[in-house]
Structure 1
Amino acid sequence: MGSLCQRHTCSSRKKNRNQSNHIYRQWRHLCLIDLSTLPYGITDRTTAEGKTELYEELDLYSYSTKGTEYDPENPQKDASQPLGKKVFRGRKNYPPSKTTTTVTLQTLVSSFSSPRFIVSPTDVYNDGDTKSNSASSILQDTEGTPQSNSITMTWAEANGRLNTANSQGWNIPSKAMNTGCYAYKGKSGKDEPGSWRVPNSRELSMILVFAHELEQFSSETGFQKLYEAKAANYLSNGYWSSTEQSSTSYSLDKATSGLIDVNYGLTIYEGANKTSTDRNRLRCIKDIPLN
């Protein structure tokens, strides 16, 4: 188990050496986290079955800061309009608890990690860009006026959903918008929108675990150091996961975020507000086939 970010990891794993070398040749300029040797807790998200479990199809709407749907009888600049298209988004998911008795698609998505996934080398803005932009074409209001993008964002924006999803639990259907990881086009800028996604809480944990190793090869991969914060600043300086909460210990407008604390190291916070109270950062992942 480890990061296949360059030669040292590939050569250190004598088991599956040919497979590792193949991955190195194919992905040598990217950072790939490899969990494929784990005996459990992983499932291939690139197969037909894995995709069916992971994704759900939603109606696509334009961006708005609140997620309010456009009413032609009462026009608003800040409202979302239907774009007449359906897109796939990572399924809303939540972790099973000790009282969970029924296996659902939502708990399956949160319970397993992809065995191999690439991590975006930089933080991703809420419009999918990797740089600040004062006139984002994706973040236009209903009059076509572009808005500035942001390095921090709501949970819904990170997960490509209308901002109404911030006040809703995992059990409430939502509509999509073209934001966050689902607008990200990869390091090359040529990937198809929707080919990257937000990590679930387990995958986010792995990014934090291997962050230092990934940083060692930044000169070759462009991997930038994750943002670090202190305990008092957890709530708006971490990284979003796709995983929400279902426990009675939390309200349904909570989700899991994580960060590297400058004093204590890897920290996972299960009670981050999905509303505008907590605006976190974003690293995206792309699932890689096992074969």
Structure 2
Amino acid sequence: MDGLQSTIKLNNGVEMPRFGLGVWKSNNHTARDSVAAALRDGYHAIDTAKQYGNERGTGAGIKLGLQQAGLKRSDIFVTTKLYNGDQGNYDKVAKAFEGQLKDLGLDYVDLYLMHWPVDATYIESYQAMERLQKQGKIRAIGVSNFDNDRLAKLLESAEIVPAVNQMEFNPTNQEKKILQFDQSHNVQMTAWSPLGGGRSLTNPMIDKLAKKYDRSAAQIILRWEWQRGIVTVIKSAHEKRIIDNSHIFDFKLSDEDVQTINQLDQGERGLWYNDFKWHNPNGEFGNSVAQWDDTNEQL
């Protein structure tokens, strides 16, 4: 049955929840509070990254949320990502990963993604991630923001096929060629920015469908992604919205309406994807951890 505990089997047999909370652009205190709220409200998947600057807050939220929800660590699925500035040889990646585990307050993570394919280092970095998975502190490894050329090159040398490719995916940016390539190699597409900001949420057709089904625009989009088989990471700092976003399991879009949304693709990537300096690990957006005013405060 569809629901927040529904999972999809990754290519290594690990079960991953299909719907989770992300914490991008959240400071440590907001991450703590939203993660705890999500776990209280039935979410079983949490997605963070070193580059977000809030792994400590996320870890505090996991600890608090598990207590409040009466859950065990093994009941939830935690994803974090290899920071661009930590890419390189095994020793560098392993040291960074251990630091991330410490910040999260965890003994292992369920999924470790390479955040960006920094051209000079992503092959070597992925090989280091493979070694870490074999050591048992990571249940699955994958990538994020990989186009087809880079993923194809990675697959030439990979011993472990990435379990996931996390991409921007929403009605106006559906990454059709990347999705097709991922599916052909048994790599699960996961959506970040699943609502597409104003481009998707304010689309007249989405609004029309929201009225038809008596749902919010966000719920229409999230249900569409669910029916497309996309794992979704949705960010919110407000508990009411965290709850509302999860109310997509008591209705279903018709096949015709799914196809209608499929036609909204404009191939327009938002946010800062196009600004990344692929060849330069120290590009403007490529190698910076967000620093928040509360970074050093007690959580």
**Could you say which structure has the higher helix fraction?**
2
Q: Into which bin does the TM-score normalised by the smaller protein fall? A: under 0.3
TM-score, scaled relative to structure 2:
0.26
TM-score, length-scaled by structure 1: 0.27
User: Which structure shows the higher strand fraction?
Assistant: 1
